[in-house]
Structure 1
Amino acid sequence: MELHLVEICFTLAFLGFTSLLVHLYYLLIWKPRSLRSKLLKQGIKGPPPSILYGNIPDMKKIQSAMVTTIETVEQTQQHHHDCFSKIFPYFKQWIDEYGPMFTYSTGNIQLLYVPCDMVKEIGLCTSLNLGKPIYLTKDRGPLFGHGILSSSGLQWEHQRKIIAPEFYMDKVKGMINIMVKSATPLLKSWENQIEAGGGIGHVKVDEDLRSFSADIISKACFGSNYSRGKEIFLRLRALQKIMSGRGLLIGVPGLSYIPTKNNKEMWNLQKGIRSLILEVVKERQKEKSEMDLLQSILEGSKNGELGRYSADDFVVDNCKNIYFAGHETTTTSASWILMLLASHPEWQTRVRDEVIQACDGCLPNVDTIRKMKMLTMVIQEAMRLYPVAPFVPREVFADMKFGDIHVPKGVILWIPLLSIHQDPTIWGPDAHLFKPERFAQGIGNACKPPQAYIPFGIGPRVCVGQNMAMAELKIILALILSNFSFTLSPQYRHSPSFSLVIEPRYGIVLLIKKI
């Protein structure tokens, strides 16, 4: 009897082990090879991958070889903004080798790098079979979870119906006063630093801008303020830094579950952020509040359309998404804009004169920011050169066709937003230079084709917060320009880097004077 049980156990163990091997073979070898084969038959080539890591070793090798060159160029070409080839040299090398469309892999994830002429069709696709990649909820899960930034299908559709209306223009108009008031501590801080410096302030502006944006998103969307949500923002920032430190290691099976030092730290941060958000929610549930974003999310978590997604998870993940996207992206854009205006004093003067004339001695409001055409041009050009997100990823959840290309289920479309924004064949030989005048006649006349300018994404998944972001940028820049003049500090080092967003590696340091 005992021998019979041993044989059964051995057989079950053998079957389990065999099943595991078959699954790993399918996951690591057969599936990626099958997807590559289907693309290769259409003439789409790419660098040969390794098992388990895909092309990650190649990407690291190419990137390492570029480090010395990049550091030298950064100090000599501050007015030349070709950050794509500096940050992503492997893509530049593969474009030269395989053409504008090629396939590559990270871990067991198969990606298709797509050219600009394919972007329009992707943007026009409204099918729920095209959505955000699954890896976002796995590899980036601690930061994004299953919120609006990372979910797909019916889950995303439900979230967008709840969240998007809170960022319509009529709602954003009601946030303008909050934006102006939130800028007061920043302006006062800079005045104090100028006074302490004998007429010149030495300011690292991105840190102050981060607090400003965090205060706005807290007040406008969550009915609190930055001081109450400060710990949430600090932990989200720490989580972002850890994740960006993992670099290219996306799609390697099991990596997110290994109890490494970084993973343990991420898990602790994730747990802490969850607790802090649920505390905010608990306080909200005790009081009667006007309908804002948080209230809409709470209502949306009760309607029974969540499936296996718990109400708490729904609330926490979407709050994390809005907290992160609502302050980090605007902070980064404003920082780059101030750097560009500091580097181009003629444009700084022109925009300042426009702002002063539009405001006519008053604080900026909805009507006055509409008149700031040159400021809008500067923002648009800055977001062309330094878009917050350098890529737009989309996963194909069913076999689909874009143009003449058949894309098999499981492939991730990798839209190189940053590369398209700086392509000389689209924008001309001055594509890497700061020239806001290219937007003088609007976006439609700035480039051909129009899908070559997509700082807020494309298609149905275009950024829900773009109206708020543009208004916030105009308000803070108008207030800064009407109160201060500024130049780049000798301490400033021009070093764009990728940390989930395109941000200045060493911050933006300015020398500021009061007007």
Structure 2
Amino acid sequence: MLLMLVAQTETISQFGVLIIKPWSFFFALLFLWAAFRALEWAWLRPRRLERLLRQQGLSGTAYRSLAGDVKENTRLNEEARRINLMPLSHDITARVEPLLHSTMREYGKHSFTWYGPYPRVTIRDPKLVREILSNKFGHFEKQKVNRFVRLLADGLLIYEGEKWGKHRRILNPAFHLHKLKNMLPAFSTCCDELVERWKNSVGPDGSFELDVWPELQNFAGDVISRAAFGSSYQEGRYIFQLQAEQAECLAKAFRTLYIPLHWYLPTENNKRMRQIEKEVQTLLRGIIINREKAIRNGEARNDDLLGLLLESNMREMGQNGKSDLSLGMTIEEVIEECKLFYFAGKDTTSVLLTWTMIVLSMHPEWQEKAREEVSQTFGREKPDYAGLNHLNTVTMILYEVLRLYTPVSMLTRSTYKTVQLGDITVPPGVVLGLPILFIHHDTDIWGPDASEFNPTRFARGISKATKDGQTGFFPFGWGPRICIGQNFALLEAKMGLSMILQHFRFELSEKYQHAPCTIITIHPEHGAPIKFHRI
């Protein structure tokens, strides 16, 4: 191709000397430079990094193509989904993360795989995980996020440096405990609607059966819609439905990540993702603009997440006595934070409550202990803030479910310079995989019963739950970037579980198939059909 380009643009002088025009020479150099950069990115750099990692004593899969281990991961996931975990077991790592499970079994706990042309080194030592997540010296950064992921959730989850600091500072007031206390009526209203709907399903014998997975997804969506948007929660419900569809589209898009420029391909899935993004942006923009006008006119109560966010944002911009837009968020940034409210707020709580009901159905003795505590604390009255904070047994159960079925199985960070991590010198351009699910199931950390349901391990608190006092519990992350909504999620889960326990006993249906799988978070692949008996 390069020779054809030159041949088409060369001339012969009157003396018979071949002359190449300057612009032709420039394009030839440009082509050579682009070809070298592509070769460096797709082959030379990955092979160089692989050699450096193996020199450190690490083992892992070999780098063979631009796809890395993405195709193999897809194959293993599809194979794992054909296997149901029967009899019932909490040892779910092989099904949820089959590539990681097989790699660590073959190459060791600290091994590496390939995410496209980038090596991903697995770090399972809790001390090193805390060091990475604490990021005390700024050595680590969030892994660069794919365009598809940004359609679902951007904002605080993705930002780095000063921008992250500004957004965290503006958002913090909305998640203070005393602010969450004011949102309890919204939680209670959604719980009432859920319980009443289930009561209406009760048959003549006082029992009924339903799949609680979609029910609790809708419940968590209603809670975040009311808590985030107050009186605009009906519009919020529709946005939640669109975001749920976006998550499904995102899971499909992950299968083609290794294809160059896959974002620009005119596939039906890509087009639908862009349509959803445009519609969500339009809806949220309208809600935010109307709320800002109401706040300025003194017509709005700022007791929901959006109101608290906008109030904090306006205060930040006007902290010097005059409005300075550079100190606050733009409307586009507020939109992204609202999208994140949905993704994190709905998904985290719905999976936590669903797995809690499944696990308590497997372990009825703990269901009765939790019901007895709720009954002693509230009787038949609605749970209140003070009482929810004193539910020790319920809290232990929720922690143990978060350990066994942690919502996000893997966190990642990347290096942008050479870093000493324990005995390993990690070069720049390496992804560090923090396999939270595997750490939560590690017998070296939790003891021989690591994959068994045992809430009493949290009886003396999180810091004393692990073997030898190691801190190996990371369901909401760690360090400065720990999930800002963890108190919101736990309070919502306590309220929902308490009201369900007040009105129903439950057990697994014969239709239930224990098949956890990852679709962003850990879902029950075949739903969660459960039998209820009204109390």
Q: TM-score, normalised by structure 1?
A: 0.91
Residue 492 (1) aligns with residue 512 (2)? yes
State the distance in 2 between where 1:51 and 1:128 align.
Answer: 32
Shift of the alpha carbon at 1:28? 1.2
- Aligned twin of 1:480: 500
- Give per-residue Cα distances to partners, 1:411-465, cap 9 Å, x unaligned: 2211000011111222222222212122222222221353311111111111100
Shift of the alpha carbon at 1:156? 1.4
State the distance in 2 between where 1:105 and 1:248 align.
Answer: 15
State the distance in 1 between where 2:309 and 2:253 align.
Answer: 31
State the distance in 2 between where 1:274 and 1:397 align.
Answer: 33
Choose the corresponding residue for 2:92, options 67, 80, 83.
Answer: 83
Choose the corresponding residue for 1:382, options 401, 405, 420.
Answer: 401
Output the amino acid matched with 2:458: F
Shift of the alpha carbon at 1:143? 1.0
* Residues 436, 474 of structure 2: 8 Å contact kept: yes
Output the amino acid matched with 1:208: E
Output the amino acid matched with 2:351: T
Residue 192 (1) aligns with residue 212 (2)? no
Identity of aligned residues (%): 30
Q: Secondary structure at the match of 1:193?
A: coil
Q: Secondary structure at the match of 1:223?
A: helix
State the distance in 2 between where 1:262 and 1:359 align.
Answer: 48
Residue 336 (1) aligns with residue 340 (2)? no
State the distance in 2 between where 1:77 and 1:426 align.
Answer: 25
Runs of 5+ unmatched residues, structure 2: 1-8, 12-18, 318-323
* Residues 417, 429 of structure 2: 8 Å contact kept: yes
- Aligned twin of 2:486: 466
* Residues 48, 55 of structure 1: 8 Å contact kept: no
Change (3 A) 1:510 1:66: closer
* Residues 421, 453 of structure 1: 8 Å contact kept: yes
- Aligned twin of 1:142: 151
Residue 243 (1) aligns with residue 250 (2)? yes
- Aligned twin of 1:182: 190
- Aligned twin of 1:510: 530
Shift of the alpha carbon at 1:402? 2.2
* Residues 81, 515 of structure 2: 8 Å contact kept: no
State the distance in 1 between where 2:503 and 2:346 align.
Answer: 23
Output the amino acid matched with 1:454: F
* Residues 492, 509 of structure 1: 8 Å contact kept: yes
State the distance in 2 between where 1:7 and 1:121 align.
Answer: 57
Residue 279 (1) aligns with residue 279 (2)? no
Output the amino acid matched with 1:105: W
Shift of the alpha carbon at 1:110? 2.3
Output the amino acid matched with 2:193: P
State the distance in 2 between where 1:406 and 1:253 align.
Answer: 31
Residue 123 (1) aligns with residue 109 (2)? no
State the distance in 1 between where 2:53 and 2:148 align.
Answer: 25
Residue 354 (1) aligns with residue 373 (2)? yes
Output the amino acid matched with 1:489: S
Change (3 A) 1:418 1:16: same
- Aligned twin of 2:113: 104
Residue 133 (1) aligns with residue 133 (2)? no
- Aligned twin of 2:16: none
Shift of the alpha carbon at 1:223? 2.7
* Residues 506, 532 of structure 2: 8 Å contact kept: yes
Residue 435 (1) aligns with residue 454 (2)? yes
Residue 311 (1) aligns with residue 330 (2)? yes
* Residues 112, 119 of structure 2: 8 Å contact kept: yes
Q: Number of aligned pairs?
A: 505
State the distance in 1 between where 2:260 and 2:279 align.
Answer: 26
Runs of 5+ unmatched residues, structure 1: none
Output the amino acid matched with 1:155: K
- Aligned twin of 2:37: 23
Larger Rg: 2
Q: Secondary structure at the match of 2:60?
A: coil
* Residues 336, 386 of structure 1: 8 Å contact kept: yes
Change (3 A) 1:459 1:418: same
- Give per-residue Cα distances to partners, 1:206-263, cap 9 Å, x unaligned: 2222222222222223333542212211111111011112345546542222222211
Supply the RMSD in Å over aligned alpha carbons: 2.5
Residue 161 (1) aligns with residue 173 (2)? no
Q: Secondary structure at the match of 2:61?
A: coil
Shift of the alpha carbon at 1:6? 10
